Structure 1
Amino acid sequence: MRELRHAAGLTMEQLAEASGVSARAISDMERGHSRAPQTRTLAALARGLGLEPEQLGELEGEARQQRSQAGGRPRLCELPRAISDFVGRADELDRMRRHALAGLGPAPVAVVHGQPGLGKTALAVRLADQLRDRYPGGLLYLDMRGTDAEPVATGDALLRLLRALEVGSRRIAETDDERSSQLRAVLRDRRCLLVLDNAGSEAQVRPLLPSEGESLAVVTSRRVLGGLEGVERIALTPLAPHESAALLRAIAVQAADPRAAAEVEAVARYCGHLPLALRIAGTRLATRPAWTVEHLVTRLADADRRLANLSTGDIGVATAFALSHAQLGKPARELFRRLAHVPGVDFAATLASVLTGAHLDDAPDGLDELVDLGLLQPSGPDRYRFHDLIRLFAGERLRNEEPPGTRAATAKRMSDWLLTTAIVAGRWFEPGYGSLPDGWTGLVAPAGEEEADAWLQAERANWLGALRSASRGGQYQLVVDVAEAMHWYSDKYVRSGYWYEVYGLSRAAAAQLPDRRQEVTHVNYFSWAATHCRGRPDEGAEIALDAHRVAVELGDVKEQAWALRYAGDAWRHAGDDERGLAACREALRLFDVAGDHDGYVQAQLGVARGISNLGRYHEAITECFAVLEQIELRPVAARPALSARVCAHTIATEALAESGRWAEALGEAELALPFAAEYGYAGYLGELHLTIGRARMALGRRDEARPSLRIAVELLIEKRYRGRSELAQRSLAELG
């Protein structure tokens, strides 16, 4: 090497600059301290020296002879075998390449983190393989065993890396601090790529990171390693559905059959798009030629056996999760398994506190520990969620580690808390309530309708799951109480299909209780849900008539009136406006007899809507103004009054528009907008913006019409609004 360098007329520093190999490494080779340089290092030196291929061959021969004389000394810290069917992660690879090439400040460090099974190691190895030519000083890999009971000690890691970098044993420093400085010096002078895989903590890897120079360190960990500063963090997530399907097709020939596309998508869903699970599923197919993809779908469909089926050879999804689970402290383990009780997709820290009995202030600590180990994912501010497979693993731990009695008691405590809180939140919208109960000390204390609504929507899947559980458990009065508390709140989300389930459960629960008046009330609610929430007016009318029959038997005039009101709505939605109008007129009379003022204005709105649908717009407008007058004259409760006011204005604006009274329609719609915004129902807002847009067009204010019509298109997106949405789109098209 010395002879070749002298022949080329180069100093060590000049050869280092030309080749990318550090002057220190060249000096070690020339002095015999590095007796078996790697092939890629020799190739870089040959380029720097301008050698012919024959001369490079001689150098490689000398290196092979030295290795043979040294007894075939194995290479240290070699990269693992790369995956030939690597799929996806293009954005993550691009980010790390750009970080490596930035060339500013300290040596670049990337931290790839995420839950078990996301393919962090595969990604790091893929990057190293792609950047092989940029790092002639070597590609080094070290498994830090951060999930083991005894991770690799920092001192041992330093020793292995220094030896892999061909620092002679007699030259390696004695203390960890000195070795760390020595490693940084070597990495500063060489251009190396260092993969520190499966790191357990910041303290374990910090002494191994380069400080200056062009070397790159890629750290993978299940933890975020938030204590490392100045690093590029790459948070991995599950693969996209099309990437999952591509990975399965790359592994198993059965999955590559286009006719199996639907079954491949099902396998990907059952695997939660987790690369480890997908690779195991694909391998099970590939090693069982007689299996079809449908056969695998059937096996994975069994949730109780899914984790068992996602294992092959010495690898398994549950095994990967167990390594993280083993690092949890006792309180965090209890929290982890009890979170399997949560019925919804995500949850807040308050629910974690309920499950463990811990103080609310302490709950985030346990949740952060689970997040840090990749067993839980953040899901927005103060919300968390499981990956589907980790949820199954938590369920297994729950069944294995807690007796049935404890599990049942915990589940009931969670369910009762969810439903009690749902009642308190729902009653903010109910006549006669509208505030927290005296002395309320619950973990959630909504201070008004806005906070109550936010909680009910955020925890909807959870309180719905608790409602199902209470129904199965025979807590019939609790089910009825929850549904009753949602009566006026449900109007805000009238098109949401889940009310059909809520009031189906409450009707069934009420039928098990002795109070038949309560039962007929919830039959009526169920009729409303069938018509308005599920779009089944024929079913809604049939249910309402059944409620009317029972109400007549009981002599309950109020519920007779509500039954006719709901039947009228159902017939109108089914296209029988005359029958619907007649039912609403009779309901109006009965509400007046019963003294139900809230119901009275609702029935009067039904009359107005029915008249308008029959094309009698002048009468409809008069009826709407009569509703607004009755709201002021009668003691109508706040929420029903707001609902009636918005609906009356909306019907009136539509009737005015259909009559061609555009200036009046515009004024009425603009007057109604603040009420509709306060009420919060998208349908009313969409209708009003549509009328405003059309009125402005008709009045020659075309530039002002466009924003309102666009809002109308956005708000009227549901299928049931298709006619109104198409009208808004046609109007926009006319504007050009």
Structure 2
Amino acid sequence: MERGRSRGPRHRTVTALADALALTEAARDQLVELARDGRLRDHWTRPTGLCELPRSVDDFTGRVAELAWTKDLVYADHAPGAAGVGLITGPAGLGKTTFAVRAAHVLRPDFADGVLFLDLFGMSPQPLAVDEALLLLLRALGVADQQIPGDIPGRASLYRSLLRDRRVLVVLDNAASEEQVRSLLPGGGEGRALVTSRRLLAGLEGVRRLSLSPLPLAEATELLAGILGERSASDGEPGLTRLAHLCGGLPLALRIAGNRLASRPGWNAADFAARLTNEERRLDQLRAGDLTIAKAFGMSYEQLAGLTRRVFRRLALVPGRDFDAALAAVAGGTPIEDAWDALDELVDLGLLQDSTSGRYRFHDLVRLFARDRLREEEPAAERDAINETVTSWLLRTATTAGRWFEPAYGRSDRPDAGLSSLEEADAWLRANADNWLGALRHAASVGRHSAVLDCADSMDWFSDRWMHAPHWHEVFALGAEAAAALGDPARQAAQLNLLAWVHLVPRDDPETTLRYTAQAMDLATRSGATAQIASAHHNEGGALRRLGRLDEAVSSESRAAESFRASGDVDSYSQCLGALGTCLRDAGRHTEALAQYLDVLALLDDDHSGMTPSIAAFTRPIALARVGECLGSLGHRTEAIVKLTEAISLMEQVRLPVPQARALETMAALLADEGRTGESRHAHARAAEVYEALGDAEASSRCRDLANAAP
């Protein structure tokens, strides 16, 4: 009563007082009856103070769509007996509680019978027991202790009956499990509930789910400005934006950063952001009083099983941005079945993010926490051994995947490494590019030259399929350095030829290409590497063509073609034939160029030519597109459009976006010349999409303008 929690004392307190006062029987009965009346009088209107909703922060920012979701939950029509329950999940630091409290305050006018808040202590070693939770909620709903059943089913039934006809919103914060929550949910009627949890609580049925994400950069910056108030103007938007970026959009990290700045007038956002750029100290800097980002992550970490903890902290050694279960198994030193279980547990607790493609990734701050746990819990020698294991596996798998595209390998002698097809090898190399490239860098830094060179060498033919990827210069530069360190001039020449290709095709820098081909030619000549001499001539021909020196280009390509044919390298020979055709096309000799491209197609169609099927599949659509271009230039537009349509379809199948975009542009122009305006616009729109995916904004904008041009 002194605490304002009740207008009437408990029965056992009254009887104890009566005994102490030695009341007569009549006086004792009267006191007990009056006390009972006090307990039961106006129990719905009395301010119990139990389960009171916490205050909402004034600087709450963003989450507009999410707040609208809670509004829909309140007003949505429900089937008879269905409960209006919203489950809000997400990792530590995303502000689930803050959001739920804000939503409850916004919704409060819609709940005439009250809003209740109960912390279920889900991350505690001892979460709130179900019977105790029901006891607290029933008391908050005004039920006297004597009327509260002693068993969980009885309490749950009474609780649901009270919520059925009363407009009450219950916020159940920090839920530990489905079992803890089920008995606390309304059973239908007027009552509603919002549940927050770091766990996904996938077993809960009949609930609407909302997964919170980090704040977008603009809203994160706005939150920082709101925390800082008037002084945010002196910090400047660039400094605040940089700080928001380093906090990764996590509201808790932003709150800590904002509070630290607000409590230290001598600091500014730019200086604090500079401190956070040091990854080794970032988590330590995100600490303000009793708020620490590491403590929030640590509470989730403590919930994990031992094997899952090991997988979690060792995944910090993965060099790329994301990974799959196979790599997680290698890093964790566990069978892949156990890796799947560990990954599921980590996703369930919000320590990892997953995707529909079967890949997982850390939030940047969670990765730093995992790295700290690894440093604290595993000795340096063990960390080095794990790193070596991960690096070796990535390099070995990447090298094997790259070999799938080499003409030298037949169907029967492919080393599998878990890859059973060309398509699987292609998909693995693309999805894991950050990982195997990171492993390549690490291996180069510790002098593992043979492994680096083998990996770079294996990417020769695959790089043609993914020519727009940004990392080829680094891959082949590391390969050339490794070959030089090993004293192998022939293989160094091969890597220099690949660098020449990088500057010829993706980078369009023919002058630099010629410098690399000269170096490659010198090394290849001195070492007698005839294949690399031919490759140097081929790359030289391409560069000379780009520079408009067409006669010299034809000479270089002819020498390369003759050399490859003499050595029996029909795959490279076909590339030179196509390049010769392009030289003739650029010279305006379209009839001769067309004949050259048709020769290439004839070679591709010859079952006895000896061409590697994967190389043929790569070469055919490009040759068809060139045929289409020549036919168009010669005035045979209808035939040209047919060839280009076939080429574009094949390019999409074998994932050749750069030539596909160019072929679409060519076809769009021919369709326009034929008066087929709608089809022309459609082709330009498709070209714009492909260019956009490649990151070529200028080309994308050009094609989009043509697609939207007035008739």
TM-score by length of 1: 0.86
**Contact in 2 for aligned 1:86/1:247 (Cα 8 Å):** yes
Tell me by how many angstroms 1:300 deviates: 0.8
State whether structure 2 residue 463 is matched by structure 1 residue 487: no
Q: Deviations over 1:69-95 (max 9, x none)?
A: xxxxx6111111211111111111111
The correspondence of residues 77-226 of structure 1 with structure 2, limited to 5 A, is 77-104=51-78, 105=80, 106-226=82-202
Q: Which moved more, 1:530-539 or 1:408-417?
A: 530-539
**Contact in 2 for aligned 1:254/1:292 (Cα 8 Å):** no
The correspondence of residues 398-547 of structure 1 with structure 2, limited to 5 A, is 398-435=374-411, 437=413, 440=416, 442=417, 444=418, 446-547=419-520
Task: State the alpha-carbon separation in 2 of the partners of residues 543 and 361 from structure 1.
Answer: 48
Counterpart residue number, 1:653: 628
Counterpart residue number, 1:71: none
Q: Which moved more, 1:164-173 or 1:212-221?
A: 164-173
Counterpart residue number, 1:45: none
Tell me by how many angstroms 1:709 deviates: 3.3
Counterpart residue number, 2:20: none
- Cα distance change on mapping 1:674 and 1:382 into 2, 3 Å: closer
The correspondence of residues 551-562 of structure 1 with structure 2, limited to 5 A, is 551-562=524-535
**Kindly, what percent of the aligned residue pairs are identical?**
39
Q: What is the aligned residue count?
A: 674
State whether structure 2 residue 658 is matched by structure 1 residue 683: yes
Q: Which moved more, 1:201-210 or 1:318-327?
A: 201-210
Counterpart residue number, 1:710: 685
Counterpart residue number, 1:662: 637
Counterpart residue number, 1:621: 594
Q: Deviations over 1:555-610 (max 9, x none)?
A: 32321121121122234335554543443233334334544333222223222212
Tell me by how many angstroms 1:393 deviates: 0.2
**Contact in 1 for aligned 2:62/2:219 (Cα 8 Å):** yes
**Contact in 1 for aligned 2:404/2:414 (Cα 8 Å):** no
Q: Which moved more, 1:295-304 or 1:712-721?
A: 712-721
SS at match of 1:512: helix
Task: State the alpha-carbon separation in 1 of the partners of residues 645 and 271 from structure 2.
Answer: 60
**Contact in 2 for aligned 1:545/1:564 (Cα 8 Å):** no
Match of 1:277 among 253, 270, 273: 253
**Contact in 2 for aligned 1:29/1:37 (Cα 8 Å):** no
SS at match of 2:350: coil
Task: State the alpha-carbon separation in 1 of the partners of residues 459 and 61 from structure 2.
Answer: 47
Tell me by how many angstroms 1:644 deviates: 3.5
Q: Deviations over 1:119-149 (max 9, x none)?
A: 1101111111111122122221111111011
For 1:404, give the aligned amino acid: A
**Contact in 2 for aligned 1:650/1:687 (Cα 8 Å):** no
For 2:524, give the aligned amino acid: A
For 1:648, give the aligned amino acid: A
- Cα distance change on mapping 1:336 and 1:690 into 2, 3 Å: same
- Cα distance change on mapping 1:246 and 1:574 into 2, 3 Å: farther
**Contact in 2 for aligned 1:427/1:435 (Cα 8 Å):** no
TM-score by length of 2: 0.89
Tell me by how many angstroms 1:305 deviates: 0.6
Q: Which moved more, 1:693-702 or 1:617-626?
A: 693-702
State whether structure 2 residue 190 is matched by structure 1 residue 235: no
Q: Which moved more, 1:156-165 or 1:338-347?
A: 156-165
Counterpart residue number, 1:565: 538
SS at match of 1:429: coil
Counterpart residue number, 2:30: none
SS at match of 1:245: helix
- Cα distance change on mapping 1:431 and 1:545 into 2, 3 Å: same
Task: State the alpha-carbon separation in 1 of the partners of residues 701 and 214 from structure 2.
Answer: 38
- Cα distance change on mapping 1:95 and 1:549 into 2, 3 Å: same
State whether structure 2 residue 627 is matched by structure 1 residue 639: no
Unpaired runs of 5+ in structure 2?
A: 1-33
Unpaired runs of 5+ in structure 1?
A: 1-27, 42-62, 68-73
SS at match of 2:542: helix
Counterpart residue number, 1:600: 573
**Contact in 1 for aligned 2:315/2:332 (Cα 8 Å):** no
- Cα distance change on mapping 1:590 and 1:379 into 2, 3 Å: same
For 1:464, give the aligned amino acid: L
**Contact in 1 for aligned 2:313/2:374 (Cα 8 Å):** yes
SS at match of 2:280: helix
SS at match of 1:111: strand
**Contact in 1 for aligned 2:400/2:415 (Cα 8 Å):** no
- Cα distance change on mapping 1:378 and 1:718 into 2, 3 Å: closer
Q: Deviations over 1:387-440 (max 9, x none)?
A: 111110000000111111111111111222222222222222111225475785
